[in-house]
A = this chain, B = another copy of it.
């Protein structure tokens, strides 16, 4: 399905991004601007549709004003 998360860790990662964005009271576009990313990319990440790269993970963490460790703590690699 086109809107299914690509994996459980990608889904959890996206949920953390969205939760923190809401904490900050930011729209996807505002977060994208802060992070130096495109807003459609932010939306895809939040829906667990992206296997995000290290550099983009660090950009997101900057935009979210958190340590990147918070976004990946406890995540397990995809099964299967």
Contacts and interface: CB of A to CB of B under 8 A. Distances in A.
Interface range, A side:
20 to 34
A65 to B, nearest CB: 13
> How many copies, total?
2
Contacts of A9: 54-55, 58
Contacts of A10: 54-55
A28 B16 CA distance: 32
Interface of A: 7, 9-10, 13, 36, 51-55, 57-59, 61-62, 67-78
A13 B68 CA distance: 12
A18 to B, nearest CB: 16
27 contacts: A7-B55, A9-B58, A36-B77, A51-B53, A51-B54, A52-B53, A53-B54, A54-B57, A54-B72, A55-B78, A58-B72, A58-B75, A58-B76, A58-B77, A58-B78, A59-B77, A62-B77, A67-B73, A67-B74, A68-B72, A68-B73, A69-B69, A69-B72, A69-B73, A69-B74, A71-B72, A72-B72
